[in-house]
Amino acid sequence: MVNKAVVSEFVGDPPSQDGASRKIEGGPLYAAEKVLALLAGSGAQAVQAWTEKCAKDLQKWSLDTDDLCDLVASAVRSGRFRGAEWCVQRPNGPWAACDAYSVVRREWIAQARKEFYVEYYIKFAIAKTGQLLLVASCHLPEDKR
């Protein structure tokens, strides 16, 4: 059974068939002020790696929830908005309307023993409750899938 439940604060109709466009016109869907207020009020408890791939990518890149909060805050403050799209949590799972950003931050790379600028792609939605950021994707550009 296909689950078309929408768990994001932004509501609408997810794609009705496989292969259909997931893009949502306009955006950003979530105001920067609202996202930043949520992060300021709840900190790391305001974010959740919503998809299995996101959780694996966080582990792969040694990122914790504090890093995730920083990335989301940087994205809405100074990142590049890349569009809005529907994301599904798992096959036949619930859907969320997400804002996608790219953001660059300076990081210490131990193997090179120096700092580099690292670009991340991040997609997130505010949950229906308004109290949680559902992060659907957080990865480096070469990890796009």
The Cα 70–Cα 75 span in angstroms is: 8
Closest residue by Cα to residue 116 from 99, 101, 134, 104: 104
Taking only the tens place, the pLDDT of each residue in 69-117 is 999 999 999 999 999 999 999 888 899 999 999 999 888 777 778 888 8
Element (H, E) at 22: none
Taking only the tens place, the pLDDT of each residue in 2-47 is 568 999 999 888 887 777 789 999 889 999 999 999 999 988 899 9
Closest residue by Cα to residue 89 from 144, 12, 14: 14
Phi, psi of 87 (to 5 degrees): -125, 145
Domain ranges of the chain: 44-143
Taking only the tens place, the pLDDT of each residue in 42-78 is 888 999 999 999 999 999 988 999 999 999 999 999 9
CA angle 52, 67, 75 (to 5 degrees): 90
Res. 1: pLDDT tops 70: no
Q: pTM of the predicted model, to two decimals?
A: 0.89
- Which pLDDT score, from 0 to 100, does residue 107 have? 80
